[in-house]
């Protein structure tokens, strides 16, 4: 392979034609670039005759976000690919299969999931995914437990953490989630109608203390290998299947950050349902579905994580110290709630938004949904260290959604 | 340089003779191997004519402890040398100067400190070191602050943490300090007279929970670059000078672990003073000196660390979030106390002991000192999360020392 350059479509076809575990020899392949062009090229390669297909994802050496462009390491392609392979081993069937990785080209060739839909779109379209809560809680429990000091050799874990040092992508999170929304920053992005909310975020001392504590854990607590960006845009679903994609933010961090990301995005969609649901009855019904799903994600995660701990914990003291598992799960719940709140706030006033809210066409409804999201987000952040059950977080969300 | 082999004395002289910033050209050097032979060769190279000297420390590819021998990575020599260089930059004058490092030979050539005494011996001999508390608190504040997310570029910190991944040496700590003393282990080493104490350590549920929490932080909390083994055997002193040596356990961990190590070793010596001090008056006087010193270490550290934070903090939220610094310092104090306790317990029942206690010749006095040390250690561990001031920890120690 030659040194790095962004692939043209014909080159992508030439490389794909050599993936013989997917395509029959001599297959006539076609190629379409389907990436959003901000961070990566994504080629969808298909063989019409056999019906087979694959995805080739190539990292670009820069990031484009709202017109800005900044350099970004190609090493993130290695991190993403290695994370996918770890996740594939620990949560089989819940991430795309990797066929090949080319380090020089920063290129991962993997399973095509175009029979799935991006979950964010699915939720906007009021889809229901009966496998989702069970699948994602399995993904979370397995990947977080078995990459932590509870579930893997503690010396190998240190070596692995070294392979997932990811400064550039972590900095994006540190800035956009744990700093900018709470100050005046060119990275912020919110509508003039909620200037009062943005101002309140900048001046809320109790909020700042909690965000500083969550930020500190994100910076220092290497509990487990995180996906690192587990919103509903990183999850492909069908009613029968769940696939987690795009772990380029993977690093060793606090477990609650991944769980909180899932919870936050379910709640953001719930806030957006003031628009997407056609009437009050279907809105109430769909919101109940979302809150139930959030609860099942946590309770499923907790039950599976505790079961893994009881069966497979490698740490003698963690296995035997009375009360330690309960204490750990309580802190994990609190982290989850705090990070969920931080993820909600940044999606309203920070750089990157979500379609669940931004695509609401009616300005007044959109503004109300933004205020609701902020009310939930701020309350989850402020209450996180007092939360004793997931139900308390759901009560906060339900109250804000109703009024 | 050839591939790794343990140096003979003549080879050590040949290498040393090329260190021209120390020795005059053509100097007639003599060499004495002064290491304890367990982990490293240590050559003391002197030129009688100029009076100049240096130390050459070469890592051995194995560890010998109580007759056992197990392989140990030579990479620890790199870690030790790089840690020394970081510490030298951040705390000038408080660590030996490094003249050269040879990676293939796992060899560090550094400043000779033989005009100093090992502090453990100094304390056993009732020495007083008026510079110590100020120096060591400067060392702790500077090295911990400026290697943390508070005091250095947060992306460079991640890269640096990667260079200090130190699985084998960390495992020694994880086993010998945070596991073995609380269970039946071949690594434990205590006298039959305190079997009842060992049994109590194995069955104390509240203690096990706290040790599990301290162990978890040691495994996961990458706050700052620690020395990692900061007992009084790793500190050279004179009344005018303090030099910290031997950072081969260096890794990114919880700051309180280093501070706690210093405190623990002052308190272990205080327990041993029932033997070393000649009479009740001098005993009471020297213990007061040790407790005062411990207090000055903490209060000096706290004042300097807060000053650095107020002047040089790189983290916007840490700088501005109301109450965050106080919250951080409270947690740091609690970690310090908890780790101090864990370090005391391991020195009585675990593999490696301290001369302050073990060299007490009178068996009954030695046993009493061991029981006193365990009483303090257990109380510090159990109380750590309730400690609100360093004075509370001193009160615990003072009460136990008085009987």
Q: Residue ranges of the alpha helices (H) in B195-279? A: 195-203, 205-220, 255-276
Alpha-carbon distance A255 to A139, whole Å?
A: 12
**Cβ neighbours of B183 in A, within 8 Å:** 316
Flag whether residue B184 sits within 8 Å of chain A, measured between CB atoms: no
Structure tokens at B225: 């670059």
Tell if the CB–CB gap between A178 and B219 is shorter than 8 Å: no
Q: Let me know if B370 is exposed, middle or buried by CB neighbors in 10 A (0-12, 13-18, 19+).
A: buried
Tokens in use for B344?
A: 């005391």
Residues of A in contact with B255 (CB under 8 A): none
In chain A, how long is the greatest CA-to-CA distance?
Answer: 65
Is A219 within 8 Å of B149 when comparing Cβ atoms? yes
Distance (Å) from the C-alpha of residue B322 to the closest C-alpha of chain A?
6
Question: Is B386 near chain A, with CB under 8 Å?
Answer: no
User: Which of B158, B169, B183 should be substituted to probe chain A, the one whose Cβ sees the most A Cβ atoms within 10 Å?
Assistant: B158
Whether A167 and chain B come into contact, CB under 8 Å, resolves to: yes
CA A246 to centroid of chain Cα atoms: 8
The minimal CB distance from A222 to the residues B159, B220, B315 is found for: B220
Q: CA A190 to CA A367: how far, in whole Å?
A: 10
Query: Which residue(s) pair with A111 in the sheet?
Result: A54
Q: Which of A155, A171, A221 sits opposite B171 (nearest CB)?
A: A155
Give yes or no for B398 touching A (CB within 8 A). no
Q: Which ipTM value was assigned to this complex?
A: 0.96
User: Smallest CA–CA separation between A16 and chain B, in Å?
Assistant: 35
- Residues near A43 by beta carbon (within 8 Å), at least 6 away in sequence: A7, A9, A12, A16, A31, A32, A33, A34, A55, A56, A57, A58
**Integer Cα distance of B245 and B117 in angstroms:** 12
Separation CA B335–CA B217 (nearest Å):
9
What mean pLDDT do residues A331-335 have? 98
In chain B, which residue's Cα lies nearest the Cα of A156?
B167
Residue contact A162–B166, C-beta within 8 A: no
User: Which of B73, B157, B164, B165 is best to mutate for the A interface (most A CBs within 10 A)?
Assistant: B165
Q: Does B111 touch chain A (CB under 8 A)?
A: no
Tokens of A147: 């990459």
- Position A3 scores a pLDDT of 84
> Can you give the three-state secondary structure of chain A, one letter per residue?
CCCCCCCCHHHHHHHHCCCCCCCCCCCCEEEEECCCCCCEEEEEEEECCCCEEEEEEEECCEEEECCEEEECCCHHHHHHHHHHHHHHHHCCCCCCCEEEEECCCCEEEEECCCCCEEHHHHHHCCCCCCCHHHHHHHHHHHHHHHCCCCCCCHHHHHHHHHHCCCHHHHHHHHHHCCCHHHCCCCCCCCCHHHHHHHHHHHHCHHHHHHHHHHHHHHHHECCEEECCCCCHHHEEEECCEEEECCCCCCEEECCHHHHHHHHHHHHHHHHHHHHHCCCHHHHHHHHHHHHHHHHHHHHHHHHHHHHHHHHHCCCHHHHHCCCHHHHHHHHHHHHHHHHHHHHHHHHHHCCCCCHHHHCCCCHHHHHHHHHHHHHHHHHHHHHHHHCCCHHHHHHHHHHHHHC
How many CA atoms does the CB half-sphere of A83 hold within 13 Å? Answer: 28
Per-residue confidence (pLDDT) for residue A67, from 0 to 100: 53
In tens, the pLDDT along A300-325 reads: 999 999 999 999 999 999 999 999 99
Close Cβ partners of A53 (under 8 Å, ≥ 6 residues apart): A22, A44, A45, A46, A47, A112, A114
pLDDT tens digits, one per residue of A129-186: 999 999 999 999 999 999 999 999 999 999 999 999 999 999 999 999 999 999 999 9
Q: What are the CA-CA distances from residue B10 to residues A26, B44, B208, B298 (Å)?
A: 69, 12, 51, 45
pLDDT at residue number A1? 44
What residue in B sits closest to A184 (Cα-Cα)?
B316
pLDDT of residue B72: 85
> Rounded to whole angstroms, how far apart are CA atoms B219 and A34?
42
Probe site for chain A from B316, B326, B328, B384 (most A CB atoms < 10 A): B316
A25 in contact with chain B, both atoms CB, cutoff 8 A? no
Question: How many interface pairs between A and B have CB atoms less than 8 angstroms apart?
Answer: 113
- For residue A315, list chain B residues with Cβ-Cβ distance below 8 A: 215
A318 has a chain B CB within 8 A of its CB? yes
pTM for the whole structure: 0.96
What CA–CA distances, in Å, run from A350 to A63, A182, A258, B13?
17, 9, 19, 63
Tell me whether B174 touches chain A (CB under 8 Å).
yes
CB proximity B99 to A under 8 Å: no
A184 touches chain B (CB under 8 A): no
| Closest to B226 measured CA to CA, from B144, B167, B137 | B144
What gap in Å lies between CA A41 and CA A64, rounded to an integer?
12
pLDDT in tens, A71-99: 888 999 999 999 999 999 999 999 999 99
Residues of A in contact with B208 (CB under 8 A): 317, 320-322, 324
Partners of residue B315 in chain A, C-beta under 8 Å: 215
Instruction: Answer whether A316 touches B (CB < 8 Å).
Output: yes
Q: Does B179 touch chain A (CB under 8 A)?
A: yes
- On chain B, the residues whose CB falls within 8 A of the CB of A327 are 209, 213
What is the rounded average pLDDT of the residues A330-339? 98
Using DSSP's 3-state secondary structure scheme, residue B67 falls into coil
Contact B348, B371 (CB under 8 A): no
- Report pLDDT digits (tens) over A361-378: 999 999 999 999 999 999
Tell me what pLDDT residue B369 has. 98
Q: Say if the Cβ atoms of A220 and B216 lie within 8 Å.
A: no
The rounded distance, in Å, linking the Cα atoms of B49 and B29 is 9
Q: Which of B208, B315, B321 sits opposite A321 (nearest CB)?
A: B208
For residue B100, which of B8, B23, B36 has the smallest C-alpha distance?
B23
Does residue B155 sit in helix, strand or coil? Answer: helix
Interface contact flag, B155 A168, Cβ < 8 Å = yes
Nearest chain B Cα distance for residue A231, angstroms = 24
The neighbour count for residue B115, using CB atoms within 10 Å, is 9
pLDDT of res. A65? 61
Residue A113 near residue A236, CB atoms below 8 Å: yes
Of B27, B31, B38, residue with least CA distance to B112: B31
- Give the residues of chain B that fall short of pLDDT 70: 1-2, 37, 64-68
Q: Half-sphere exposure of residue B222, counting CA atoms within 13 Å on the CB side?
A: 28
Choose among A165, A174, A222: nearest Cβ to B154: A174
| Residue whose C-alpha is closest to residue B24's, from B44, B55, B51, B43 | B51
- Whether A165 sits inside 8 A of B162 (CB atoms) is yes
Q: Cβ of A326 under 8 Å from any chain B Cβ?
A: no
Q: Does A323 contact B205 at a Cβ distance shorter than 8 Å?
A: yes
Nearest to B396 by CA among B276, B291, B262, B257: B291
């Amino acid at each position: 392979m030659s040194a790095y350059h962004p692939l043209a479509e014909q080159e992508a076809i030439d490389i794909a034609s050599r993936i013989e575990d997917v395509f029959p020899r001599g297959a006539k392949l076609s190629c379409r670039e389907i990436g959003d062009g901000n961070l990566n090229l994504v080629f969808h390669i298909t063989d019409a005759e056999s019906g087979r297909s694959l995805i080739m994802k190539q990292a670009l050496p820069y990031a484009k976000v709202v017109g800005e462009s900044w350099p970004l390491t190609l090493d993130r392609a290695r991190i993403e690919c290695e994370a996918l392979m770890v996740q594939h081993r620990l949560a089989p069937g819940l991430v795309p299969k990797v066929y090949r990785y080319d380090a020089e080209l920063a290129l991962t060739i993997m399973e095509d999931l175009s029979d799935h839909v991006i979950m964010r779109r699915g939720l906007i379209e009021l889809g229901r995914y009966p496998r989702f809560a069970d699948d994602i809680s399995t993904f979370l429990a397995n990947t977080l437990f078995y990459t932590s000091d509870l579930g893997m050799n503690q010396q190998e874990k240190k070596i692995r953490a070294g392979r997932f040092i990811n400064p550039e992508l972590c900095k994006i999170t540190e800035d956009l989630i744990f700093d900018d929304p709470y100050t005046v920053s060119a990275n912020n992005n919110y509508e003039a109608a909620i200037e009062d909310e943005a101002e309140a975020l900048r001046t809320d001392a109790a909020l700042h203390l909690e965000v500083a504590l969550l930020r500190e854990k994100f910076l220092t607590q290497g509990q487990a290998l995180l996906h690192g960006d587990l919103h509903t845009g990183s999850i492909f679903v069908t009613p029968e299947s769940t696939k987690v994609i795009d772990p380029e933010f993977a690093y060793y961090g606090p477990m609650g950050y991944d769980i909180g990301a899932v919870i936050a995005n379910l709640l953001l969609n719930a806030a957006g349902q003031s628009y997407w649901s056609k009437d009050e009855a279907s809105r109430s019904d769909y919101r109940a579905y979302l809150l139930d799903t959030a609860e099942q994600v946590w309770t499923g995660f907790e039950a599976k994580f505790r079961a893994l701990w009881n069966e497979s914990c490698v740490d003698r003291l963690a296995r035997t110290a009375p009360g330690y598992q309960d204490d750990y799960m309580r802190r994990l719940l609190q982290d989850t709630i705090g990070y969920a709140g931080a993820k909600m706030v940044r999606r309203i006033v920070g750089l990157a938004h979500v379609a669940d809210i931004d695509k609401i066409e009616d300005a007044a409804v959109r503004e109300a949904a933004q205020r609701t999201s902020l009310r939930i987000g701020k309350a989850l952040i402020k209450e996180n260290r007092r939360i004793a059950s997931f139900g308390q977080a759901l009560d906060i969300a339900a109250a804000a959604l109703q009024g």
